[in-house]
Chain A
């Protein structure tokens, strides 16, 4: 197949853009640790309450301005809800679902993760800006999905 010169140039430029985007994505993922939430641990979805971690959901201090939020998602709520943390805190959310598939999103941040029954999902964010952030479920989970929300307040 013979190609037009202009077409070659077009393809070289556009494919370079694609490759460049991959390089950036790969660099951010593997060198800077900014990859998407991909935790590999599993859990029995019918025995979440008996799990060593999820039997007691809550906010735990793990270090100097570091926190772990152990959270269960179930129709149509987040446990714990109305979380408060100090400004500048690095918070790791460790989550699982007790029933169907849910989404964990904090509006105005890049925190966005799928939370599935049988899987433990983790995502970490540092909250520098004080204020009240809206946490919402962004995966349709049933009749009350539009009410599944809570807040995290950074003081």
Chain B
């Protein structure tokens, strides 16, 4: 069957929670890349009897297409050599070979996402200066519709506007920057802390610390940029990586950040890494119950978990000061790239070991967040790929969520030192249902991203569909979908990747007041090493999504 313009999928159990469908056996009809209510009799059919049908997966937070990722790739030739990725046997188009490891090459990334049933993914941290590079990588990442989140939490021009109380100009600049970079959402990483790292202040410790001696605090950065994002009516709220990532006792900072933005839409990312009690001489502990309680009670807040999975990982973040600490504590190789006027980049390869007490605690905290969450629509599955583990570990994570016996068996094997009294160690009986998995991997992230045509199978949706064979081994079931359909095209057949179409670019182009431009041009001429005229990325594929 080659690229049908029409297709009827018959006999499968459909999990389409956005449309209230929970395992009902019903037909899914596709025409010209969209889900439709019906196709004419005689249209090609795909027999999915006994199978499970879900929308294509949506990865709300991963690192796979950025200059930082490319620096990370460079650091691990040994991993690449150990995981060669031959070109798949495609029925059309040029198939590309590549390499895997924790940071695969681009074509391999696209193929592996498709092989997992994921059809949309966002790179969650792109320095505006290097957005052009990210788009080049996305051009070479087939099978997934992709976009980038643009780093703003330590941007020199924004810090100056915040210091001056120029909130409107900050909003207009944020809009200009999103347009200039072809970005989809605003990202804040360690607000003010990366600038502090570059000045010798090294970091900030609370959201009320001054940054570099200026009248700017992380709190002001959070408030100003979140307000800007919401005023611009962006499809996804500001995506926040809080201060003090990975530090014992950081839950207090995370809670303070959430409270600072109370009542405003905001997405707090890889919450697991910001969920630690202890510190100040006390041992590390889980603060997951406290933080998820806040999330449960505040419908304007959403999170993704950033689950740690045991095994090799690659920490890649704009939160450069934390990477320096990781380098010093682990002794592992360290790459740091300070990025002018905007942000930073730190990279340290890492392995999470189940016998290491802190790794075991991190693993447990992530699971606690999932299992104590009361609203799966606002608690998204992520590993912060590749920081907590590869996206290839999503199926194993799904198995942990759906099968308590597997979870309990693993719990017996991990270092229990820091788990005494934790909710997971005390026993959490909850097991996710297929519909809940469909929510945290597709419907929920699509809704939080404002992607109206993604994450569901109602008429008008993009025909991105994943079909799984039922298997008792849930990890196996979710790691090898039987069929994957991308924009109506069958790209995985009988578990094999057969087509690899280019993905679409997901970006926004919010409006702004041109009055910001003369001042911005002066800033560029004085401090930037890239000409103002050269800064915007032009000739991007496709049209931006509507804003508002």
Chains A and B bind each other: no
Interface set of A (CB-CB < 8 Å, partner B): none
Interface set of B (CB-CB < 8 Å, partner A): none
